[in-house]
Amino acid sequence: MKEHLVLRVVTKFLMPFILLFALYVQFHGDYGPGGGFQAGVIFGSAFILYALIFGVPALQRILPRGILRLGIAGGVLIYACVGVAGLLLGANYLDYSPLAHDPPHGQHLGILLIEFGVGLTVSCVMVTIFVTFAGWRR
Amino acid sequence: MACTAIAIALLRNLVAVVMLGGIFSLLSAAMFVVLDAVDVAFTEAAVGAGISTMLLLATLSLTTTQEKQPRRPVEKLPAHRQPWLPLAVVAVTGAALVYGSLDMSRYGDPDAITNRHVVPRYIEKTVEETGVPNVVTSVLASYRGYDTLGEVTVIFTAGIGVILLLGTWRRTARRRRERSDAP
């Protein structure tokens, strides 16, 4: 699709807004609708749009495969580690209360961290699935 | 929504089927908004209408865009080979689902048994215990943290599965091709 000037310009124009909206959904999920899953999908779809318009090799230049795989594993790891951190600080697994000076703040921090882990894994998996499908040639 | 579903069943062009699937997801998202489940609607719109449509289109680009024609059209089959059994299975399952829904409590009924167990406690204590005003987020990430960890692990497994099935196969095929080209 390299010859479609309108699509290329519009994509370049829209990319930052899609990414910004994804970050808003990610970190505002505590107060409004949204959270890690939705934000991850929106974040991933921005890169999928980029790959659709500029081609998979261009995407792999800005987002190498190694980083994607690191993100896939890293998100789950962040989630599990937050749980273990609670365990080490003397609470149950995935109880975030002891993470800060008082339980509500600890819970808030824990939710923020695990939502970040969810978003990281989901966005990297979505981009990886698309890149693997689109880069696969018979 | 019913029209979209019937059209999906009748069409043979798979690109159109995928598109209608996306429209169906978007209509479901609108339905969830009407039911006041904004978080679910958001997920449905982003995942169902957005990403999965995209991934299905990517799959179609790898396979084919036309559904295979049956060797003999259904109208020409003899009476005993007409698809009666699938029709019966679908009808019975549908009837059972409708029968099961008859017992459900009225939508949004505060006295319903599902709304009396832990729901009032979550709604009352969420802000006090987690400091998060969105109850959906606090239930998802804190009260039901194990479930969400499981969900993330499912997504993780899906990603790993795709990498293992398609990513590696491609590289080995290329290597094999290079090796056969070499001599």
pLDDT of residue A122: 92
Tell me whether B153 touches chain A (CB under 8 Å): yes
How many Å lie between the alpha carbon of A10 and the closest alpha carbon of chain B? 18
- What is the domain count for chain A? 1
Distance set, CA B54 to CA A44, A75, B49 (Å): 12, 23, 9
Identify the closest residue of chain A to B37 by CA–CA distance: A33
Give the Cα separation of A7 and A10 in Å (integer): 5
**How does residue A2 score in pLDDT terms, banded at 50, 70 and 90?**
low
Tell me whether B105 touches chain A (CB under 8 Å): no
| pLDDT tens by residue, B126-151 | 777 777 788 888 888 888 888 989 99
Report whether pLDDT(B97) > 90. yes
Give the Cβ contact number of residue A135 at 10 Å: 18
**How does residue B171 score in pLDDT terms, banded at 50, 70 and 90?**
low
Among all chains, which residue has been given the structure tokens 């994804």?
A22
Give the domain extent around A42.
5-134
pLDDT of residue A138: 47
Phi, psi of A137 (to 5 degrees): -120, 135
DSSP letters, chain A, are -TT-HHHHHHHHHHHHHHHHHHHHHHHTTTTSS--HHHHHHHHHHHHHHHHHHH-HHHHHHHS-HHHHHHHHHHHHHHHHHHHHHHHHTTS-TT--GGGSSSHHHHHHHHHHHHHHHHHHHHHHHHHHHHHHHHT---
Q: Which residues pair with B66 in a beta bridge?
A: B13
A30 → closest Cβ in B54, B137, B151: B137
pLDDT of residue B32: 92
Size of interface A-B (CB pairs under 8 A): 140
pLDDT of residue A14: 92
Termini Cα distance of chain B: 59
| Domain residue limits, chain B | 1-67, 133-183
Tell me whether A137 touches chain B (CB under 8 Å): yes
Closest CA to A34 of B154, B54, B140: B140
Confidence (pTM)? 0.82
Q: Which amino acid is at B84?
A: W
B145 → closest Cβ in A73, A94, A138: A94
- Chain-wide mean pLDDT for chain A? 86
Q: Are A118 and A37 in contact (CB under 8 A)?
A: yes
- Chain-wide mean pLDDT for chain B? 83
Report whether pLDDT(B31) > 90. yes
pLDDT of residue B140: 82
Judge: B155–A115 Cβ closer than 8 Å, yes or no: no
Mark which residues 79-108 of A lie under 8 Å from B by CB: 79-80, 83, 94, 96, 103-105, 107-108
Judge: B159–A128 Cβ closer than 8 Å, yes or no: yes
**How does residue A42 score in pLDDT terms, banded at 50, 70 and 90?**
very high
pLDDT of residue B8: 85
| pLDDT tens by residue, B49-85 | 888 898 888 888 878 777 777 776 666 777 677 778 8
Q: Which positions in chain B touch A41 (Cβ < 8 Å)?
A: 43, 46-47, 50-51
Q: Which positions in chain B touch A104 (Cβ < 8 Å)?
A: 128-131
Q: Are A30 and A111 in contact (CB under 8 A)?
A: yes
How high is the ipTM of this complex?
0.87
